[in-house]
Amino acid sequence: MSQFEHATKPQPLEVLNSVFGYDSFRHQQQAIVESVVGGQDVLTLMPTGGGKSICYQIPAMVRSGVGVVVSPLIALMKDQVDALREVGVACAFLNSTQDQYEQMEVEASLMRGEIQLLYVSPERLLMERTLNLLEQAHLSLFAIDEAHCVSQWGHDFRPEYQKLSILPQRFPNVPRIALTATADERTKQEIISQLQLSNAKVFVHSFDRPNIRYHVSEMANAKHELWDFIEQNHPQDAGIVYCLSRKKVEETATWLSGKGRVALPYHAGMSVEQKNQNQQRFLREEGVIIVATIAFGMGIDKPNVRFVGHLSLPKSIESYYQETGRAGRDGAQANAWMAYGLQDLVMQKQMVENSDGNSQYKQVQMGKLNALLGYCELSSCRRQTLLGYFGESLSQPCGNCDNCLNPPKTWDGTQAAQKALSTVYRSGQTFGVTHLVNVLLGKSDEKIQRFGHESLSTFGIGTELTAEQWKGVFRQLIAMNYLTVEGMYNNLKLTELCRTVLRGEQTIELRELRKAKKKKTSSTKKSTALSAQDAEVFEKLRELRASLAKQQNVPAYVICHDASLADIALKRPLNHEELGQVSGFGDAKVAKYGDAIVELMIAQPKATLVLTATEQTTVDLFNQLNKVDLVAAERGIAANTVMSHLASAIEIGLCPLQQVIEVEPSELEQFGVVITQLNLLSERKLKPLFEHFEAKYDYSTLRCVVSHFVYQKQLASLANS
């Protein structure tokens, strides 16, 4: 009989607080948890970093028996189990990395009822020995993580996942929860069908990751632009760079290492030992860049990955969304940067055409690739299109992608398109882009002379554009499906769609090439969120965390996330009770690490609240001009930036709220109630407030209002001390 069965089972919210250290559930977590606890099958679609694991971990701890977690990520199971053990959860894993005696020990613990969560791969679960073992145990639930692996159309297809339909037959009374961060409507329906979840409750959370800034580059020298991006924005941050081939992975890792960064390769051609070693260094060390094929990343829990770069075009929007989603799991600002060029486009289309799949498979994959190409060529908000692909709408442009921040210029490319298409036709539809560009520019090389292309009517008619600009025209025409790429020499052929363009019945809008800018795309350093004094304490806390992690032989983020360290630096807890109020610190972590953290905090000087120099300049100017737009014009900064500076002043009592915005007392009272209900003073997240008031107030206004209540709370605290 399980040691957990006779104990009074806690409520989900109690577990969330005492074990995981959080005051309230996020988004739809509570409804999901309560459904599984009640014995209901569930399908959950939630973005990376949205808190999926909580949705099965807490039900497994509340329900009687052991929860079985099906995961494809053998290499990460130990870290997942270590993280749970850190917060006091009895858990284990069964996989091929263990010897016979270790496996027997886990099986014995399972039968004695000493485990709350057991992690297994689908291959291990489907072994008859494992199924028989589980039939003898008392099970609380099955959690099928990365459920999109069931889809034969998907980028992570695992045939074993489709065989998990055996679970409701062998274990009809055990609830199942399937979870994924990546699924369009087709994939969602396939998960439901393949896993027999037709009676399951379906929860679809917003796919939006507002903290990630999306940027797509069409620059010719992608590698050097990648370095400029890393050097300017992430000189010390951890990141992932994806490449299509093993050779490119090795070359890029060596190149970045030569630039002075710790950059490690990861691809299927490496030994298991070397891959695991590089993965562990990435997880445990700070500031490491992993350069990888798509073989890397699924299930990576490292919260402070600050950027994801793509030196090669992914296969689909699903792949792109999942891979970029590995940045910014902690909710702090992060970047998704991608280089996009003609060669990548051609290579991906060829890979689809040359694949072993049937015609239906190729048609689906080509549709997915075309959707990604359309995303790359956008002139409008990227986030709106990205969310639209997953069936979600965003009413306003996001303001946090390259197109919103630096809108691309477009031009009437109808005549250029006609010239390009005509050249393809007149040259016999048997040549690649480079040759066609030379024809348009009138460059008479050996190949042009050999084929007599100086006599073509389109020879030399395109001198108004440069070679790079013509390559951009051809790339966009391929992305728009006016041209297709065929054969081993990447010959361009016309499609049926081009007829209306050639006849002048349709106009074509094309994007201008962007010029490289030496400009930061986002700032992600802790010093921007903390005062200089608090940032110094934050660094001391990082050093302490590194020491504790080394003692425990776990990655630093398993001890706690950067967000928790920042919270400690701000709150300066002086005892265990105060530390327990820090987000992410449950009873087990407070008991284990409380003495060391409190000792460090007691040794720190008392925090003083001050503005940065630029914030003080804005406040002084605002006191003179009394209008946000005038201050913005005078300083040459955005009005939103002015409001952010004023919010900082409001928070420390240097500027009253009513001086910045007009708000009725009744409105202010309503704000106070909602902010308290949503626990926004500790987490400082504005999106829940924005959504609660249904976009009635903009983010700048809400930031000032929250700052006002933070200051009021500080005053109350001082009065009671």
For residues 415-423, average pLDDT? 94
For residues 126-144, average pLDDT? 94
Q: Which pLDDT band holds residue 676 (cuts at 50, 70, 90)? A: confident
- The number of residues making up the chain comes to 721
Q: Exposure pattern of 294-315 as b/e (b: 16+ CB <10 Å)?
A: bebbbbbbbbbbbbbbbbbbbb
The CATH superfamily label for domain 532-603 reads HRDC domain (1.10.150.80)
**Higher model confidence: residue 43 or residue 712?**
43
Cα separation, 252 vs 248, in Å, equals 6
On whether the 12-204 domain is CATH 3.40.50.300, my answer is yes
Taking CA atoms, 695 is separated from 108, 635, 705, in Å, by 55, 28, 15
For residues 246-265, average pLDDT? 95
**Residue 367 half-sphere exposure toward CB, CA atoms < 13 A:** 11
- The region, left, alpha or beta by phi > 0 then psi within -120 to 50, assigned to residue 228 is alpha
For residues 127-141, average pLDDT? 94
Taking CA atoms, 699 is separated from 396, 644, 645, in Å, by 13, 10, 13
For 48-116, give the DSSP string. TTS-TTHHHHHHHHHSSSEEEEE-S-HHHHHHHHHHHHHTT--EEEESTTS-HHHHHHHHHHHHTT--S
Identical fold at 12-204 and 212-393?
A: yes
CATH code of 410-511, in short, is 1.10.10.10
Cα separation, 90 vs 84, in Å, equals 8
Closest CA to 188 of 167, 163, 207: 207
Q: Give every CB contact of residue 538 below 8 A, 6+ residues apart in sequence.
A: 526, 530, 565, 566, 569
For residues 302-309, average pLDDT? 92
- In this structure, CATH architecture of domain 212-393: 3-Layer(aba) Sandwich (3.40)
Q: Which pLDDT belongs to residue 513?
A: 77
Structure-block tokens of residue 401:
């992608």
The DSSP secondary-structure symbol of 499 reads H
Cα separation, 153 vs 148, in Å, equals 10
Q: Among 177-186, 341-350, 634-643, which stretch is predicted with the lowest mean pLDDT?
A: 341-350
Report the percentage of the chain scoring pLDDT > 70. 93
**Higher model confidence: residue 349 or residue 139?**
139
Q: Which pLDDT belongs to residue 609?
A: 65
Q: Write the pLDDT tens digit of every residue in 273-287.
A: 898 899 889 988 889
Q: Which pLDDT belongs to residue 591?
A: 93
| pLDDT, mean over the chain | 87
Q: Write the pLDDT tens digit of every residue in 257-271.
A: 999 999 999 998 999
Q: Write the pLDDT tens digit of every residue in 351-380.
A: 777 777 788 878 888 888 888 888 888 888
Q: Which pLDDT belongs to residue 525?
A: 43
The DSSP secondary-structure symbol of 301 reads -
Residue 54 has pLDDT above 70, yes or no: yes
Residue 431 has pLDDT above 80, yes or no: yes
Q: Among 67-71, 103-107, 125-129, 676-680, which stretch is predicted with the lowest mean pLDDT?
A: 676-680
Q: Which pLDDT band holds residue 522 (cuts at 50, 70, 90)? A: very low
Residue 210 has pLDDT above 80, yes or no: yes
Q: Write the pLDDT tens digit of every residue in 434-474.
A: 999 999 999 988 999 999 999 999 999 999 999 988 988 99
Q: Which pLDDT belongs to residue 368?
A: 83
Q: Write the pLDDT tens digit of every residue in 625-652.
A: 999 999 988 888 888 889 989 998 998 8
How do the domains of the chain map onto residue ranges? Answer: 12-204, 212-393, 410-511, 532-603, 613-720
